[in-house]
Amino acid sequence: MANDTASPLTENPSDELPRKRVKRNYVACRRCHSQKIKCSGGLPCGSCSHAKKAQQCRYPSRDRKVTVMERYLRTLVTENAAFKQAQSAGSSLDRTVRNAPEATDGTLQADDEMQSQPTVTIVSKGSSSEHERQISFEASTVCTSFGDELLSCFAHEEIRPDGTPAHEAFMEKLDQLYRDASIGERSNDPVWICKFFVVLALGELYTNQSQDRNKETKNSIPRTNYFLTAIGLLQDLYEEPSVQQIENLLLFSFYSNALGRTNSAYVYGGIALRLSLIPGLHRRKQIDQIHDEVELENSRRVWWTVYTFDRIYSSRLGRPVTIHDTDIDVPIPSHSNNDFTHYHRSRYHLFIMKVTLSQLIALATTASCTVIDLDKRASPLDVTLTPLGNTKVKAAVTNNGDVSYNLFYKGTFLDEAPVDKLHVTSAAAKAPFTGILQRLATTQLTEESFKPLMAGQTIEVEVELAELYELSTSGAYSVLAAGSVPYAELNSTVLSGSALSFSSNTLSVDVDAAEAAKVEFAVSKLEKRTAIQSDCTGTKLTAIRSALSNCNRLATAAATAATSGSASKFQEYFKTTSSTTRNTVAARLRAVASDCASTTGGKTRTYCTDIYGGCSSGVLAYTLPSNNYIAYCPLFFSDLPGLTGSCHAQDQATTVLHEETHAPGVYSPGTEDNGYGYSAATSLSSSRAVLNADSYALYANAIYSGC
């Protein structure tokens, strides 16, 4: 056949008839054709290569007339009919990547573009009862175009292979796959073919991301053809999982996370972890039965990769870890294995650092995700109220447990500051509170913030109700002490991440309003350390303005989430998903956002000085609800970041939001301090959580940080 119909890209002299002379290709590449210059053929052609335009060297596709035997056409028709029948049967268990049939009785001249690219076909055989997949691979052995394009992506990069046995084994199997395809043999390893396609998917993903962003359309996303093919080949036989199956699931998890599908990544990672437990990759005894050192080391690294994925996703999504560290005794990966010496030492140390960080994440996640149901579990704290006079009561707390605690007593009835210590009501109406409501630091605490309560010990304090509440009407008042108190271990100042509930007896006190009026309010006794001022100056002014702006952003986003966002996330912080509670929370947050948006005409007055002496140890800020005054303490400016993206962390923005919810002028009734920190706040009942200031601050932080 004439040579002018041969492909200019992939000539194979062994497949051509003998020629008397070489004829020039009349098919020029598009660049040579447009510039009207002679094209030498090949990819790239001489002109494009000389001009350093190899990437622009493309040939036009042409429809060709081909000569084939009738027997071959009948074979294609038969296979096409079988393929359609299999598709209609809906079977997906048995898939095969098949070689194209050879035209033994005729010749078939391939199209230019088809010869320059590998081709893949997925065919279902329709056998729903089979559990094995027979895989073969069809690919052109001439991959010059594909290889040149791939290498061009790294033209300015230093390519440094991992050099691990796993990497080398993968490359050997890849070479074997192409060698088998070139002689018509099929691969019967569906697990490895699945890995092959998901690796291609990852390469496609990151290659697309590294291209010139100016050439991409606004809504362009990386293609997912390879990934969908890999999903079709994913094994779902879990009875005796292999390490390679676990590796495949990790690759699926990694790919899903790169696409922003965090929940899918979490599920794939979770399946990988469950499969890892079946052969006991987490146990030294089971894994030490592997005699091959390379396989042993690879199994260790697979396990610790699974472990890292589980910790990262659990922390990011705020979910409990799947396995505890106490259940793991397999050693961390080793660098002493000679077969791993090509693995870059810096990468090895980076891997170990990731494992160590994941172990720390596990401790934090376990603590933060441990929810204590304070209404159902028995507390070791017993609180008793007894009357001492007209408006004075004695509160006694006893530790009936066997464990001693260091109580974080700030904001409770044990606090000497004029805080909201008790629930005082008259005829079902709450007595107006005249003291201050504080936001307390929960990290870097000192001994001054704790009171030790030994097992069996009792602490007694006296509370003068008239100093803290307006008792302007004579009659019976009900007094109750209830809430939760965080704690640290004895002789420690680091909060444990848990809290102890307490609820006293309800005490009835007969109040003489005239006598109560003779008692001076606690806040009026305090010395005003600076003159009251309506603004701040210098860096404090800048910090307050920024914090108010961020408070507006966070409160607005949280209000939207409360109205129409995740029900489970709302349930986590407010213990209900009722529309009434969601609307109440959203309304309060919108009111806070509105007040934070104004620095001149708001409902509250902001101070950067300790106007009522409430800035004791560990106090970030406090609110005087009776006047809607908010004062920010030195700790607010020196220790808090402006805005943090960390879950359950404190910053200036959420501290402003916390204090704004206290002010009844912003939204009535104002909130209380029923529980400080994530553990205590998420352990409150719904009725207490909706009136707890820290619940709003933590919820807004969770929405902003994606907890």
Which residue numbers are catalytic?
Answer: 659
Encoding tokens for residue 151? Answer: 């290498």
Backbone angles phi, psi at 328, to 5 degrees: -115, 130
SS (H, E, C) 344-358: CHHHHHHHHHHHHHH
From the CA atom positions of the chain, what is the Rg in Å? 36
Backbone angles phi, psi at 394, to 5 degrees: -110, 130
Q: Are 627 and 433 in contact (CB under 8 A)?
A: no
End-to-end CA distance of the chain: 68
User: Is 647 in a helix, a strand, or coil?
Assistant: coil
**Any known ligand binding at 344?**
no
Pick from 584, 536, 564: nearest CA to 690: 584
User: With 0-12 CB in 10 A as exposed, 13-18 as middle and 19+ as buried, what is 274?
Assistant: middle
**Any known ligand binding at 658?**
yes
Q: Are 434 and 523 in contact (CB under 8 A)?
A: yes
**Any known ligand binding at 349?**
no
User: Is 593 in a helix, a strand, or coil?
Assistant: helix
**Rounded (10°) CA dihedral 326, 328, 330, 331:** -50
Q: Which helix (H) or strand (E) holds 247?
A: helix 243-258
Measured in whole angstroms, how far is the alpha carbon of residue 584 from the centre of its chain?
28
CA dist 660 and 624 (Å) reads: 11
Backbone angles phi, psi at 587, to 5 degrees: -65, -40
Q: How far is residue 377 from each of residues 278, 374, 381, 398, measured CA to CA in Å?
A: 35, 6, 12, 17
Q: Are 369 and 324 in contact (CB under 8 A)?
A: no
Q: Are 418 and 522 in contact (CB under 8 A)?
A: yes
Amino acid symbol at 435:
G
CA dist 566 and 619 (Å) reads: 32
User: With 0-12 CB in 10 A as exposed, 13-18 as middle and 19+ as buried, what is 280?
Assistant: middle
Amino acid symbol at 529:
R
CA dist 471 and 511 (Å) reads: 8
Backbone angles phi, psi at 607, to 5 degrees: -130, 145
Q: How far is residue 60 from each of residues 13, 26, 57, measured CA to CA in Å?
A: 22, 12, 10
CA dist 259 and 209 (Å) reads: 11
Encoding tokens for residue 682? Answer: 């998420």
Pick from 453, 439, 456: nearest CA to 400: 456
Q: Which helix (H) or strand (E) holds 115?
A: helix 112-115
Encoding tokens for residue 365? Answer: 């996640």
**Cis ω before 669 (30° cut-off from 0):** yes
Pick from 505, 479, 481, 509: nearest CA to 390: 509
User: Is 399 in a helix, a strand, or coil?
Assistant: strand
Binding-site positions read 658, 662, 673
Binding-site positions for Zn(2+) read 658, 662, 673
